[in-house]
Amino acid sequence: MARITLDHIRHAYSAEAEARGEYALKEVHHEWEDGGAYALLGPSGCGKTTLLNIISGLIRPSGGRIAFNGADVTDLPTEARNIAQVFQFPVVYDTMTVYDNLAFPLRNRNVPEAQVDKRVREILAMTDLESMAKQRARGLTADQKQKISLARGLVRADVNAILFDEPLTVIDPHLKWMLRSQLKQLHRSSGFTMVYVTHDQTEALTFADKVVVMYEGEIVQIGTPTELFETPSHTFVGYFIGSPGMNVMPATVQGDKAVIGGQEIALAGAPKVAGEGRIELGIRPEFVRLERGGMPIAIDKVEDIGRQKIVRARFAGHPLSIVLDEDQDIPADAGARFEPGAIGIYANSWRVGMEA
Ligand SMILES: Nc1ncnc2c1ncn2[C@@H]1O[C@H](COP(=O)(O)OP(=O)(O)OP(=O)(O)O)[C@@H](O)[C@H]1O
């Protein structure tokens, strides 16, 4: 397993784009821990595949270098990087049995047959594929074939990392749920360094220790699911993680207060805003209280989503979502109160620190 160093990596797909400063991946400088489970999360076109392909060796970055355990691999082709890859669609040998499909990467590297057998049986058990071991892959469903691809990705114990590119796309929703949790357990029990690309926040948050959120070619935050929820570094993270996403409203700052539409909102400290640019206040719907004596709001509708209610309202003309427990009443003259400790202030979309 390997520690992955992204040393001032950036990528533009052409010299012209680079000359114009248009990067599919803006500069990233980070070290990913040996044995970590990382999810690259973001909408279509944000640069996830570009970054994954730089790690796998399919793309040489136009700037910076990449290292596994400190050894520079920037110029090594994929075959020489000692990684396993699982793609969006199953890659299996139809004429081989499930067992032989799993044994293939090991036999290919001349692993002694007794060791092949031991490892293949272990992985078959881990992935619940034992009952299919002797079946040929040809007759299996797309789900089952993708499960074989996943299992084959895990079979070599000596890889530097396992890279997954949207591996659950073809899997039906129920099995998806099971495989997501299984992959997490497999990560815990195996200690592999795993990098997992997805645009699905549930997949990313279930699987990863660290979620790498990408937006318009840039890594906007690398954090644990809790950090992304509690302290989004960028308004995009607030919006993309959580359902509904964070409320973001234009504001001004006066000392340790924010002002929106003439309403003063107490903050936990004085934000360090330089005075320039676009200032916004962000607060997750879970931290807005609805109570008598709160700041005036207009409630548009209340959505019942099982154990919770989502109140859709407007505050000083801005949309405001509020999450309540299902049994919580909404007083007739309810107003909003924002929990000071849960408020983030953003300057030009980036969260700013608070004076102590
Ligand atoms: N071969 C290429 N040549 C030129 N531009 C490319 C190429 N591949 C990707 N891009 C551009 O680079 C940017 C990042 O694309 P990338 O495929 O890395 O995003 P992504 O987050 O993986 O999206 P998706 O989820 O749709 O695969 C996009 O603007 C895309 O159009």
- CA–CA gap between residue 152 and residue 103 (Å, rounded): 8
pLDDT digits (tens, 9 = 90+) for 2-40: 999 999 999 999 999 999 999 999 999 999 999 999 999
Q: What is the dihedral of CA 22, 273, 350, 264, to 10 degrees?
A: -140
Question: At residue 247, does pLDDT exceed 80?
Answer: yes
Ligand 1 center to 17 CA (angstroms): 13
Q: How far is the CA of 50 from the centre of ligand 1 (A)?
A: 6
Q: Which of 234, 218, 237 has the alpha carbon at shortest distance from 27?
A: 218
User: How many C-alpha atoms does 293 have within 13 Å on its Cβ side?
Assistant: 0
Taking the CA of residue 8 as centre, how many other CA atoms within 13 Å lie in the half-sphere pointing to its CB? 2
Give the residue whose CA is nearest to atom 26 of ligand 1. 44
Q: Is the pLDDT of residue 275 over 80?
A: no
The residue whose CA is least distant from atom 14 of ligand 1 is: 47
Tens of pLDDT, residues 39-62: 999 999 999 999 999 999 999 999
Alpha carbons 213 and 39: distance in angstroms, whole number: 8
Interval 280-326: pLDDT, tens: 999 999 999 999 999 999 999 999 998 999 999 999 999 999 999 99
Nearest CA to ligand 1 atom 31: 45
Q: Which helix (H) or strand (E) holds 204?
A: helix 201-207
Question: pLDDT band at residue 132, thresholds of 50, 70 and 90?
Answer: very high
The per-residue pLDDT for range 171-206, each reduced to its tens digit, is 888 888 888 888 888 888 888 999 999 999 999 999
DSSP letter assigned to residue 240: H
What distances in angstroms separate CA 172 from CA 129, 169, 246, 265, 321, one per listed residue?
A: 17, 8, 30, 46, 31
How much is the pTM? 0.93
Amino acid letter for position 176: K
Protein residue whose Cα sits closest to atom 30 of ligand 1: 45
Flag whether the ipTM exceeds 0.90.
Answer: yes
Total residue length of the chain:
356
Contact 342/284 with Cβ under 8 angstroms?
yes
Distance 28 CA to ligand 1 centre (A): 17
Q: Which atom of ligand 1 is nearest to the CA of 199?
A: 25
What is the residue whose two structure tokens read 């400063």? Answer: 21
Give the whole-angstrom CA distance, residue 299 versus residue 311: 7
* Pocket probe mutation, ligand 1, options 18, 50, 200, max atoms within 8 Å of Cβ: 50
Distance 54 CA to ligand 1 centre (A): 12
Write the residue with the smallest CA distance to atom 20 of ligand 1: 45
| Structural domain spans, the chain | 4-235, 245-355
Q: Which of 10, 26, 44 to mutate to test the pocket of ligand 1 (most atoms within 8 A of CB)?
A: 44
Locate the ligand 1 atom nearest the alpha carbon of residue 50 and give its number: 18
Give the Cα separation of 96 and 207 in Å (integer): 30
- pLDDT grade, residue 241 (50/70/90)? very high
- The binding-site residues of ligand 1, defined as CB within 6 angstroms of any ligand atom, are 13, 24, 42, 44-50, 199
Distance 18 CA to ligand 1 centre (A): 15
Which of 343, 350, 356, 351 lies closest to 258, judged by CA? Answer: 343
Q: Is the dihedral of CA 240, 241, 242, 246 positive or negative?
A: negative
What per-residue confidence (pLDDT) applies to 180? Answer: 86
| Ordered strands of the 247-250 beta sheet | 247-250, 279-283, 344-347, 350-351
Give the percent of the chain with pLDDT over 70: 99
CATH topology of domain 4-235: Rossmann fold (3.40.50)
Closest C-alpha to ligand 1, atom 22:
49
Ligand 1: nearest atom to the Cα of 14: 4
% of the chain with per-residue pLDDT over 90 = 87
Half-sphere exposure of 55 (CA within 13 A, CB side): 33
Strand bridging mode 161-165 / 83-86: parallel
Separation CA 238–CA 231 (nearest Å): 8
